[in-house]
Amino acid sequence: MAKRITIDPVTRIEGHLRVDCELDNGHVSKAWASGQMWRGIELILKGRDPRDAWLFTQRICGVCTTVHAIASVRSVESALKMEIPLNAQYIRNIMIAAHAIQDHIVHFYHLSALDWVDVTSALRAEPRKVASLAQGMSSWSLNSSQEFVRVQEKLKGFVGSGQLGIFANGYWGHPAMRLSPEVNLLACTHYLQALEVQRKANIIISILGAKTPHIQNLAVGGVANPINTDSPSTLSLERLYYVKTLIDELGDFVNNVYFTDVCAIGASYRDWTAYGAGVTNYLSVPEFPLDTKGTVFELPGGYIPAGDVGRFSPIRNFEDESFVKGVKESVKHSWYKGDSDRHPWEEETEPGYTDFLDDGKYSWVKAPTFRDAPAQVGPLANVLCLYAAGHEATRKYTDKALATIGRLSGAPVSIEALHSTIGRHAARGVRAAVLYETLQKQWQLLMDNIGKGDTRTFNQPEFPKGEVRGVGFHEAPRGVLSHWIVIADKKIKNYQAVVPSTWNSSPRNAKDAPGPYEASLVGTPVAVPEKPLEVLRTVHSFDPCLACAIHMVDTENAEIVSVRAL
Amino acid sequence: MNVLVMGVGNLLLQDEGAGGKAVEEFARRYRVPPGVEILDGGTSGIELLQYIQGRDLLILVDVVRSGNPCGTLTRFEGEHVPALFRDKISPHQLGISDLLAVCQMTDAMPEKVVLFGIEPKSLDTGLTLSAEVAGNIGRLADLVAEELRLFGVTVEPYS
């Protein structure tokens, strides 16, 4: 007899996600993902000036602000077939890469590591052993026994007082936790160090973006950063060299801490390369445009059907028809009226809530398809496509990660192992290392271009009469993001955002095929149904972000404090 | 003096954006001395850590559903604040309570934390506040000013 478990909400994510699983003999046999996706952006944008759209879209989500801003300006630029000055491309590229590295670090340490790392076990570690282990893996300056002693004392204090604080929600002592006390202490220490390091990415974005949270420097047609190498109130040499320092500090952490930790944890949980593959159609888009027209990119994108890297087909540029025409969204299993399966430019958003119906409608998320099939997006899709396209840095870091995991676990690991829960973490680590190289390169390109005397950062957009359509896409930290805009007589007529988590948290589609979360959970072992840690591991490995339901404080349900009206 | 006044919430969901609108109104009405920072935090998560760490006083402004009539203002202090945000209503990637827990762990906890709340009416998609909430935004801004004065901060109205 199948047993049903419901996890509602899945925590440590942005937004609201419910996951239902049927268990048979200790394994998941069927799964449903149901999300609250914020789908009303067109209601706010209709009738507005397209040049203002990005200021609104960056408010869709608190984590993905920059991401939605970039996709939005690109959608308008695509509709107007604009060219963007080189400096503007490079400045955007630096912000995109810095944001993505920050996002990957935070996802690994702060949003998912606690699925694999047991804080209470770290208390039993011998700091000297941790130091020798860590120093054998990398040259990171903070891998000293003093640092491990300091962190362990701190953790003891928290556990002793019964206040685990930020570590309070873990399944401590769960049978699926398997790291040694030493590796647990190592990971906890890096967890705290990562809090400091991620700020450096934020400083890069705030220098270029003028402000965080919520950047101010974008514009349809470029960026609003005046470049004057001498003036302190503009993007000066002093600021640019400070950005370079921050880039290198980020890179030090990515290469010497994040990447090695991913390999160490991957090796300890090697059996998890057998779980969590799910949908192995992978979709990614090219990113980091290197010319004004958006035809040449630093990182290629494309599509891999059925996990077969040999069948990779590239998506070449912002105009590529195979992408523009390949995307549809079905509402057959989503809480919208009807059962349409349409292109984003033709979509309507008419809510039609039913109850949670296993075989009917059960999610606010629509089901996107590429060439009529569900697709997985995100760092794994991106890394596999880059690998297939022969991208040099990606090959280097992927091979290095596989070799390191193989060495640490005592048996070779092939690229096939990446189609898995732990593979998604490894791919994110590889992507962060690739992005550090990208970041260095984009900074150098910007400096060289300014050195040639080019200080242009903006081209004036010109809106035609009549109707034009555009799509702005972006390989965001969680995968393919696309904004679809219809402009009529200089005003927005329709606007849809198809976000990465729509692809991954998709419900069953028009052909009843399950989405990536749903498919990936089938076969996952669950040791303790009341503590479904293994289900969370797989769901968290996608880095879910179901932006932005409601974030209000609710005292009626919390019943924690009494309320007095003022 | 090291003070942060921060509104949080989503500006695209009507009353959900009341926190940001209230601190905007506060900045419009009052001149604050150096050392007092005013911030619209939106729905950001870990990005806000650097802004809240190590403050003498942190004033948060947000919508709070407490079962009172729409527009009702509420005030919470100290340990009640992280307890409130601990409830999973917050979709913040790392919510306010997580960030305060991080502050505790890194010895950078704000010395005093105060939350002002306003009871929402509508959280539908839209940029305008409901009349009930809009009608009390000015009063909310004044309460923030009074709180700062009690803390010894000189706050002067632009008359």
Q: Is A445 inside a domain boundary? A: yes
Mean pLDDT for chain B overall: 88
Q: Is A566 inside a domain boundary? A: no
3-state secondary structure of A108: helix
CA distance B61 to A518: 38
Share above pLDDT 70 across residues of chain A, in percent, rounded to a whole number = 93
Inter-chain touch A563–B74, beta carbons under 8 Å: yes
Q: Evaluate if residue A547 carries a pLDDT over 60.
A: no
Confidence of residue A6 (pLDDT cuts 50, 70, 90): confident
Could you tell me which of A57, A33, A74 has the C-alpha nearest to residue A501? A33
Mean pLDDT for chain A overall: 90
Give yes or no: A61 in active site. Answer: yes
Q: Which residue in A16, A18, A39, A68 is the catalytic one?
A: A68
* pLDDT top residue among B98 and B21: B21
Which residue's entry shows tokens 């998912």?
Answer: A112
Nearest to B83 among A16, A165, A560 (CB): A560
Q: Which residue in A478, A483, A508, A537 is the catalytic one?
A: A478
Asked if the peptide bond before residue A213 counts as cis, ω within 30 degrees of 0, the response is: yes
* CATH code, residues B3-151: 3.40.50.1450
Nearest to B92 among A14, A560, A564 (CB): A14
Q: Which residues of B touch A547 (CB under 8 A)?
A: 91
Q: Is A564 inside a domain boundary? A: no
Give yes or no: A21 in active site. Answer: no
Inter-chain touch B125–A555, beta carbons under 8 Å: no
Q: pTM for the complete prediction?
A: 0.93
Closest approach of chain A CAs to the CA of B134, in angstroms? 16
User: pLDDT value at position A230?
Assistant: 79
Q: Evaluate if residue A548 carries a pLDDT over 70.
A: no
Domain with A249, as residue range(s), is 3-558
Could you tell me which of A225, A181, A250, A186 has the C-alpha nearest to residue A92? A225
Q: Which residues of A touch B120 (CB under 8 A)?
A: 552
Q: Which of B40, B49, B88, B128 to mutate to test the interface with A (most CBs of A within 10 A)?
A: B88
- pLDDT of A38-57, one tens digit each? 567 888 999 999 999 999 99
Give yes or no: A501 in active site. Answer: yes
Q: Which residues of A touch B98 (CB under 8 A)?
A: 166
CA nearest A558 in B: which residue?
B87
User: pLDDT value at position B85?
Assistant: 66
Q: Evaluate if residue B96 carries a pLDDT over 80.
A: no
Give yes or no: A319 in active site. Answer: no
Could you tell me which of A269, A34, A274, A33 has the C-alpha nearest to residue A174? A269
Whole-complex ipTM: 0.88
Give yes or no: A551 in active site. Answer: no
Contacts from A251-256 at CB under 8 Å and sequence distance 24+? A251/A436, A251/A439, A251/A440, A252/A140, A253/A105, A253/A140, A253/A193, A253/A194, A253/A197, A254/A101, A254/A105, A254/A432, A254/A433, A254/A435, A254/A436, A255/A138, A255/A433, A255/A436, A256/A138, A256/A139, A256/A140
Could you tell me which of A419, A430, A460 has the C-alpha nearest to residue A77? A460
Q: Which residue in A21, A61, A188, A385 is the catalytic one?
A: A61
Q: Is A395 inside a domain boundary? A: yes
Question: How far is C-alpha A178 from the chain's CA centre?
Answer: 26
- CATH number, domain of A9, equals 1.10.645.10
CA nearest B10 in A: which residue?
A59
Closest approach of chain A CAs to the CA of B41, in angstroms? 7
Give yes or no: A385 in active site. Answer: no
Confidence of residue B46 (pLDDT cuts 50, 70, 90): confident
Q: Is A138 inside a domain boundary? A: yes
Q: How many domains is chain A built from? A: 1
